[in-house]
A and B are shown apart, each in its own frame.
Chain A
Amino acid sequence: MAHDTYTYDVLIIGAGGAGLRAAIEAANAGVSVGLICKSLLGKAHTVMAEGGMAAALSHNDDRDNWKVHFADTMRGGQYVNNWRMAEIHAKEAPDRVRELEAWGAVFDRTPDGRINQRNFGGHRYPRLAHVGDRTGLELIRTLQDHTIHLGVTVHMEHTVVDLVLDGGRAAGALAYDRQSGRFHAFAAKAIILATGGIGRAYSVTSNSWEGTGDGHALAYRVGAELIDMEFVQFHPTGMVWPPSVKGILVTEGVRGEGGILKNSDGRRFMFDDIPDNYKPQTASDAEEGWRYTQGDKSARRPPELLTRDHVARCINREVKAGRGSPHGGVFLDIAWIKEKLPNAAEHIKRKLPSMYHQFMQLANLDITKEPMEVGPTTHYVMGGVRVDADSQMSTVPGLFAAGECASGINGANRLGGNSLSDLIVFGKRAGEYAAEYARKNPAARVSDEALARVERTALEPFERGASGENPYMVQKDLQQVMQALVGIVRQESEMREAVQTLQQLKARAARAGVSGGRDYHAGWHTALDLRNLLTVSEAIALSAIERRESRGGHFREDYPDKAAEFSTINMMVKEGAGGMQVTRVPIPPIPDELTQVIEEQKS
């Protein structure tokens, strides 16, 4: 089985914000860089991000600084974050955002000509640098257009099926070219995973087909540790109608611009349930909330801008109590601001152009006139590859991870806008440290036998042919199990049932078959994705069973409160002799200076 072999100092898997930023840094460090992605360049999930990227630039409110951002991130994450990552992130995000401007990004401006920042849930001050509601496009295009002049070799539409080690160290990867179905081998001194999220493990998701948890599973299969897998973020506002667009995101920016949530009784239900630790910072009435969204510094934020986990659960509760909208969501109303602003319709179209467009075109609804129907959608995974905070290296030497597939910065719940900034802060660091690792270490050896084994397994679906299980049906059943049994509201018995069903699905996936040629064969691709989806699903379910409390994105009906015993640990998943093992790992004690920062910001 001959294949082309490509050799690089640093191999990056994934060309979203994290992968591209890593590529730039590694290339600038003077090492050879290869970049692999499943789609065309510039189409990665990052392109869909809307609201903005969080950085304490303090352009719109000079009370903001890294300390406030750090404290917000820790509180949002319910204090199980990797505090060192949260600290680095808060300190370095401003420089990472500014340098984008030097590479051609064109952010919205403040009246004095600087980068404009907007309000977002859980952020104390306006902190999100943005471009209308297409910030992800701006980020990915800027990084892409910068990268293409740096001599990075890009392998588009290639999917990595497995990593290979050499004496315990990352050595290479085997990928197939989606267009031709042919396999290629990649050898590298250091490998960076930047593969994004896992949303496709659920039936209602804002994620594209790419979000199958590949990096999580690739790392797991070579013995790396995953942490925080129980923490999945369900974004409160996804579209609920028409059925074919169910799950597509409605940016939090709608609420940041003054949009309010109402149930079928017309009640603004978010005022009914404000958690104690957020009370001091939440508006006491609708008027104050409105003033906050319009930049009044003396006002406190409306309850619609509480953290995502909380808002999602409130919506869930309204729907379950029979106070939902006709298609099983609640109402999100931005049109109401016409009571406040003279040319509200124009204002909405300018601030939220792609939302206007999206609803007009996909739901036949004019958001400047009517409320939208929204409900929770699987959006982001806080869990991922366990990495060293400074270098982003995993527990496997030479294997790095950055962006959504890495874990630590977000703890139990990510604040909106903290992902795009995470990508550029830790993408840069991963690139830097991977290049350094590559310079210090000799070339690793990629064994032909290992590659041949991987290739044989990957081709098995063709041997089983069309009489095997239909891979699309297995995927659909898996998504439904996760949605129904390991979703927003969880309990032990249901999750145990999910784990059992996943075993049956594993058996079915092992029988998945396809026929036809290998070129651009979506069915075959889906069959291969199943393995990764099953691994991340199992990791989520097992970790969620073990965390017998409710915290952030993880809510247990049978343990509805936070428990002290879980406030100092992360759940860690690793492959053991008998399969997947879940253990508790202690969070290193937080230094006094940082505790002090958190305390100072509590008022």
Chain B
Amino acid sequence: MSAATFKIWRTLPGGDGTFQTFHTEVADGMVVLDVVHKVQAEQAPDLAVRWNCKAGKCGSCSAEINGTPRLMCMTRMDELNLWEPVTVEPMRAFPPIKDLVTDVSWNFRVKKGITKFTPRTPDAPDGTWRMAQRDVDRVQEFRKCIECFLCQDVCHVLRDHGKFDEFIGPRFFVYTANLEMNPLDTADRVPELKHDKGIGYCNITKCCTTVCPEHIHITDNAIIPLKERVVSRYYDPITRLLRVFTS
């Protein structure tokens, strides 16, 4: 057991918030979520926090720990400096609800607006398809996403510029890439990517990739290939034309 000081964000009745300081004991192997639960059980029964699996599988416990977007259940106490207070605050890109809980409903609305999976007719008479493992490896990488929305939280286009109406964020580029690169899918999402989903706003800072707890290569494997599709559809002929004129 060692002593630790936690500064946990608490919302106040008016809607504002402040850090509340808690002193507590930390045992071997504890993660930040354990400490938050300990504080909840012993000192602040009404403390609001989301969690489900406690194993990094559900993406519920997203928060900002010492300023970095992370999963509370996968952040071990022994990787933090306990000489300093540990700060835990909600994801800042989303509207606060209470304490560590934010309103992430925007994400669910965005997903609905993306053209859904549209498979080609089955390959076999029994209604099934044939796909090689190597052809689905990439898509499976995208499908590891646990919808923690940490990438959305960190992306400056949403966080700092608030482009919630024009930009779907890295999570949904991953989602779109998963559909676009699924060998069975026949729909075309390139026009919507360019016109409604705001892929042009992404300037490849890679902050999203850095925070992804599933280690999905969001920028390199999803966003950049999607950008390339947009470019080759909409700009390539022009570039080529230009080249004809200048050569």
Contacts and interface: CB of A to CB of B under 8 A. Distances in A.
Interface of A: 39-45, 47-48, 98, 101-104, 106, 108-109, 112-116, 131-132, 134, 136-138, 141, 145-146, 148-149, 156, 179, 208-210, 241-245, 248-249, 354, 357-358, 361-364, 466, 470-473, 476, 514-517, 519-524
A208 B58 contact: yes
Nearest to B127: A98
B56 A145 contact: no
Given A106-B136, A208-B58, A149 B116 contact: yes
Q: Which 7 A-B pairs have the closest CB atoms?
A: A242-B29, A523-B45, A113-B130, A520-B48, A104-B117, A516-B46, A472-B41
B83 interface: no
A510 B13 CA distance: 29
Interface residues of B, number: 59
Interface string B38-64: 001100011111111111111110000
A428 to B, nearest CB: 16
Nearest to B30: A244
B112 A149 contact: yes
Contact of A248 (B55, B122, B140): B55
Contacts of A131: 140, 143
Contacts of B129: 101, 113
Given A48-B58, A362-B29, A522-B47, A101 B128 contact: yes
Contact of B128 (A48, A114, A146): A114
B245 interface: no
Contact of A47 (B49, B53, B104, B133): B53
A363 B29 contact: yes
Contacts of B40: 472, 522-523
A108 B51 contact: no
A472 B129 CA distance: 50
Nearest to A241: B29
B98 A245 contact: no
B111 interface: yes
B175 to A, nearest CB: 8
B84 interface: no
B207 interface: no
A165 to B, nearest CB: 31
A265 B160 CA distance: 59
Contact of A41 (B41, B108, B122): B108
Contacts of A514: 45-46
Given A145-B111, A148-B112, A361-B56, A134 B144 contact: yes
A244 to B, nearest CB: 4
Contacts of B126: 98
Interface in B57-114: 57-60, 74, 76, 97-99, 101, 104-105, 108, 111-112
Contact of A109 (B51, B57, B132): B132
Contacts of B56: 354, 357-358, 361
Nearest to B119: A102
B204 interface: no
B44 to A, nearest CB: 9
A39 B98 CA distance: 15
Interface string B180-193: 00101100000000
Contacts of A115: 128
11 contacts: A39-B58, A40-B108, A44-B52, A47-B52, A136-B57, A179-B98, A243-B29, A244-B34, A473-B41, A514-B45, A520-B99
A362 B76 contact: yes
A39 B136 contact: no
Nearest to B97: A179
A515 B45 CA distance: 8
Contacts of A109: 131-133, 136
B154 to A, nearest CB: 19
Contacts of A472: 40-41, 45
Nearest to B117: A104
A134 B57 contact: yes
Nearest to A141: B143
Contacts of A47: 52-53, 57-58, 146
A148 B117 CA distance: 12
B242 to A, nearest CB: 39
Contacts of A521: 45-46, 48
Contact of A245 (B54, B105, B128): B54
Contact of A43 (B58, B74, B99, B144): B58
Nearest to B74: A361
Contact of B31 (A132, A208, A244, A364): A244
B132 A522 contact: no
Among B28, B49, B117, max chain A CB count under 10 A is at B117
Nearest to A524: B46
B61 to A, nearest CB: 10
Interface string B182-217: 101100000000000000000000000000000000
Contacts of A210: 52
A502 to B, nearest CB: 21
Among A113, A466, A472, max chain B CB count under 10 A is at A113
Contacts of B112: 148-149
A145 B48 contact: no
B59 A43 contact: yes
Among B57, B131, B136, max chain A CB count under 10 A is at B57
Given A113-B131, A131-B143, A362 B31 contact: yes
A462 to B, nearest CB: 11
Nearest to A472: B41
Nearest to B46: A516
B74 A106 contact: no
B74 A208 contact: no
A517 B46 contact: yes
B30 A242 contact: yes
